[in-house]
């Protein structure tokens, strides 16, 4: 997807430290629950503790997905926590 309009959204998706397992939903469900609020092709920043970034594949198919790791070369002494 290309974002020619400069649209931007963000998620904070915690996956690793929840006490209740039912709070973990699939990326397909995240997409379904948010698609009415997002514009296909928009840039979406995801702040997450999910180690396997391919988990977000269903979102990547529709949006320009970025993570904090994508900026670590631009920010000296970046703390991923």
Segment 10-42, tens digit of pLDDT? 999 988 766 666 778 899 999 999 999 998 889
Average pLDDT over residues 66-72: 89
- So what's the pLDDT on residue 14? 86
DSSP per residue, 5-63: T--EEEEEE--SS-S-GGG---HHHHHHHHTTTS-TT-EEEEEE--S-GGGGHHHHTTS
- So what's the pLDDT on residue 81? 66
- Give the global pTM: 0.81
Give the model confidence (pLDDT) of 48-63 as tens digits: 989 899 999 999 999 9
């Amino acid at each position: 997807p290309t974002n020619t309009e400069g649209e931007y959204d963000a998620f904070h998706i915690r996956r690793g430290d929840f006490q209740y397992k039912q709070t973990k939903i699939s990326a397909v469900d995240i997409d379904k629950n948010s698609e009415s609020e997002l514009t296909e092709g928009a840039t979406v920043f995801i702040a997450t503790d999910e180690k396997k970034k391919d988990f977000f594949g269903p979102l990547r198919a529709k949006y320009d997905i970025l993570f904090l790791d994508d900026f670590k070369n631009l920010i000296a002494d970046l703390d991923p926590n």
